[in-house]
A and B are shown apart, each in its own frame.
Chain A
Amino acid sequence: MPIHTDRTYELQLEKLRASVLEMGGLVEDQIAQAMRALTTRDQALAQATIERDHMVNRLDVEIDDLAIKLLALHQPAARDLRLITTALKVTTDLERIGDLAEHIAERATELFGELPIKPSIDLPRMAELARDMLRRSLDAFVREDEKLALSVCNADDTIDQLHGQLFRELVEFMADDPRTVSRAMRLLFVSKYLERVGDHATNIAEMVIFMVKGRSIRHLDRPPREL
């Protein structure tokens, strides 16, 4: 694709794209660290993860500022306009994912020192799925790949099913032995957080499809099979 006649504009758009990617990489890492803190009962790591959330927030503000500046100064059109509006919306989802990572780390802190009620298998699996969805939605953003983005939308069901399964399992634990309630509830929260990460990754993927194709597939009952 030809580059802009205005090189400054071109560079700023490139910076916007890079910043979104940086923020995405950061929140993906935050989820990984929070989950590691949870599964390895690493109090210091949980605390470090909570403290790192301000970096996510800072990028959120920076990207908003840059996007607003671009809108005000360049009156962007077509694909540039769609990139900027996508960046504005994607950062909201990324910021929420950052908050969810922080919440996971908080639950990890609360569970520190308590006996585990079951081996950690399902939650790490959900986290892996959620991170994979996030990674692919960001890849799709950078590569402007609407097919990859659509595959993210279609992956959301799996994570929802895992959450449903874990929900039933943890409810059983609580019913069988009320002493597990506070621990099981916290694990259930984590499961819900991870399910929400999947939803946010799906939102990002939907915005990427809008960015590439100029067409919205949001708020449909089912994602389309193809674009």
Chain B
Amino acid sequence: METASSLASDTSTSAKILVRDLTVRYGTTLALDRVSLDIGERQVTALIGPSGCGKSTFLRCLNRMNDHIRSVAVEGRVLIDGVSIYDPTVDPVELRRRVGMVFQKSNPFPKSIFDNTAFGPRVHGVRDRVALCEIVERSLRQAALWDEVKDRLDRSALDLSGGQQQRLCIARALAVEPDVLLMDEPASALDPIATAKIEELIHELKTQYTIVIVTHNMQQAARVSDETAYFYLGRLIEVGPTEQIFTNPGRRETEDYVTGRFG
């Protein structure tokens, strides 16, 4: 049997993130079992699989969000641009600047649109008002939100619609100029039009960013991603070009999942 680790080739030269034998335990529960995966630079990689398959755990390992959970044990290697992110010399705050994250439920701060967007840069020491204004405009433009909010930047972010709030969170993540954007179910709480806007945004963002997205919506994975990885029971079952995964996957388990034969 071909193992998942042999599927992730070491020869890929454009891989931004290299994961090798990543094993994660929550206490005695095995959440990820020796997962190896290459994530291509300026590509969208979708992680799919049923609830509890380990895809979110995997995503959270990429910017050490799991550090905050007690009893979590991480083994294996995660290299971004060739640097091991679990090395003791790596500053997790700086790591999370480079590897931004957008969550399922939009989580703007109860502050103005401007202050939400400028939050990260301020934390990282930007004080100059003109510079902040530039960053806010650039980030909101990148998140395709600028035209909708440019006249009311001082209004509360909580007055925005759900879809706008989610794009604001994307703008907030982009404001600190990350290389990688992690998205955990970014459109699952949105209506079809807001979802389409997020997906359109993902298409545009991938020209500059490496994106990893977790989604339960398989059509969404099929639409937005270049590569798709299927997880099941903590293991990476198959990874390949998205088109192949959805038309002619290599493994029966993947086939059963993408055709709705699961369970």
The answer to whether A and B come from one shared complex is: yes
**Which residues of chain B are within 8 angstroms of A214 by Cβ–Cβ distance?**
247-248
Q: How many residues of B are counted as interface, with CB atoms below 8 angstroms from the partner's CB atoms?
A: 16
With a cutoff of 8 Å between Cβ atoms, the chain B residues found around residue A81 in the complex are 246-247
Whether A79 lies near B260 (C-beta < 8 A) is: no
Which A residues, 209 to 227, have Cβ-Cβ distances below 8 Å to chain B? 214-215
Question: What is the 8 Å Cβ interface bit string for chain B, positions 121-157, against chain A (1 contact, 0 not)?
Answer: 0000000000000000000000000000000000000
Residue-wise interface mask of A (53-90) relative to B, using a CB-CB cutoff of 8 A (1 in contact, 0 not): 00000000000000000000011111111100000000
CA–CA, A214 and B258, complex, Å: 15
Compute how far the CA of A4 lies from the CA of B257 in the bound complex, rounded to whole angstroms: 10
Q: Mark B229-248, 1 if CB is under 8 A from A, else 0.
A: 00000000000000000111
Residues of A within 8 A of B259 (CB): 4, 76-80
Q: Give the residue among A2, A9, A75, A81 with the most B Cβ atoms within 10 A.
A: A2
Shortest CB distance B180–A (Å): 28
Q: How far does the alpha carbon of A5 sit from the alpha carbon of B262 in the complex, in Å?
A: 6
Q: Is the pair B219, A78 in contact by a Cβ cutoff of 8 Å?
A: no
Q: For B260, list chain A residues within 8 Å (CB).
A: 4-6, 9, 74, 77
B67: CB under 8 A from chain A? no
- CB of B263, distance to nearest CB on chain A (Å): 6
Inter-chain CA distance A81–B245, complex, in Å, is 12
CB-nearest residue of chain A to B254: A78
Report the nearest B residue to A213, measured CB to CB: B248
A140 to B: closest C-beta gap in Å? 18
Least CB distance from B4 to A in Å reads 19
Residue B185 at the chain A interface, CB threshold 8 Å? no
A1 within 8 A of B: yes
- Could you tell me the distance between the alpha carbons of A86 and B237 in the complex, rounded to whole angstroms? 27
Inter-subunit contact A75/B262 (CB<8 Å):
no
Separation of A1 and B219 alpha carbons in the complex (Å): 23
Is A3 part of the binding interface, using a Cβ–Cβ cutoff of 8 Å? yes
Determine the chain B residues whose CB is within 8 A of the CB of A77 once the complex forms.
Answer: 218, 222, 246-247, 258-260
When A75-B219, A77-B222 are in contact, do A2 and B247 touch as well, CB less than 8 Å?
Answer: no
Task: Provide the residues of chain A in CB contact with B261, threshold 8 Å.
Answer: 1-5
Residue among B246, B261, B263 with the highest chain A CB neighbour number at 10 A: B261
Kindly state whether residue B87 has any CB partner on chain A within 8 Å. no
- Chain A 1-37 residues near chain B, CB threshold 8 A: 1-6, 9
Cβ of B255 within 8 Å of any chain A Cβ, yes or no, is yes
**Are B262 and A78 closer than 8 Å at their CB atoms?**
no
Chain B: CB-nearest residue to A3: B261
Give complex CA distance A5, B247 in Å: 19
Q: Which residues of A contact B255 (CB under 8 A)?
A: 78-79
Contact of B263 among A5, A75, A80, A82 (CB under 8 A): A5
Q: Which residue of B lies closest to A215 (CB)?
A: B248
Question: Is B178 positioned at the interface, with any CB of A under 8 Å from its CB?
Answer: no
B256 at the interface (CB under 8 A from A): yes
Is there a chain A Cβ closer than 8 Å to B92's Cβ?
no
**A77 to B260 Cα, complex, angstroms:** 9
Contact of B248 among A74, A76, A82 (CB under 8 A): A82
The residue among B218, B249, B260 with the most chain A CB atoms within 10 A of its own CB is B260
Q: Would you give the shortest CB distance from B63 to chain A, in whole angstroms?
A: 30
How far is B259's CA from A214's CA once the two chains are assembled, in angstroms?
15
Contact at A2–B256, with CB atoms within 8 Å? yes
Across the interface, which residues of A come within 8 angstroms of B256, CB to CB?
A: 1-2
Answer whether A78 and B258 are a contact pair too, CB < 8 Å, given A214-B247, A214-B248.
yes
Residues of A in contact with B (beta carbons under 8 Å apart): 1-6, 9, 74-82, 214-215
Per CB-CB distance, the 9 closest pairs between chain A and chain B, nearest first, are A214-B248, A77-B258, A2-B261, A77-B246, A80-B259, A78-B255, A78-B259, A75-B219, A4-B260
* Apart from the given pairs A5-B262, A78-B248, A78-B258, 15 other A-B contacts in the complex at a CB distance below 8 Å: A2-B256, A2-B261, A5-B263, A6-B260, A75-B219, A76-B259, A77-B222, A77-B246, A77-B260, A78-B259, A79-B259, A81-B246, A82-B248, A214-B247, A214-B248
Sample 27 A-B pairs with CB under 8 A, ordered by A number.
A1-B261, A2-B256, A2-B261, A2-B262, A4-B259, A4-B260, A4-B261, A5-B260, A6-B260, A9-B260, A75-B218, A77-B222, A77-B246, A77-B247, A77-B259, A77-B260, A78-B246, A78-B247, A78-B248, A78-B249, A78-B254, A78-B258, A78-B259, A80-B259, A81-B246, A82-B248, A214-B248
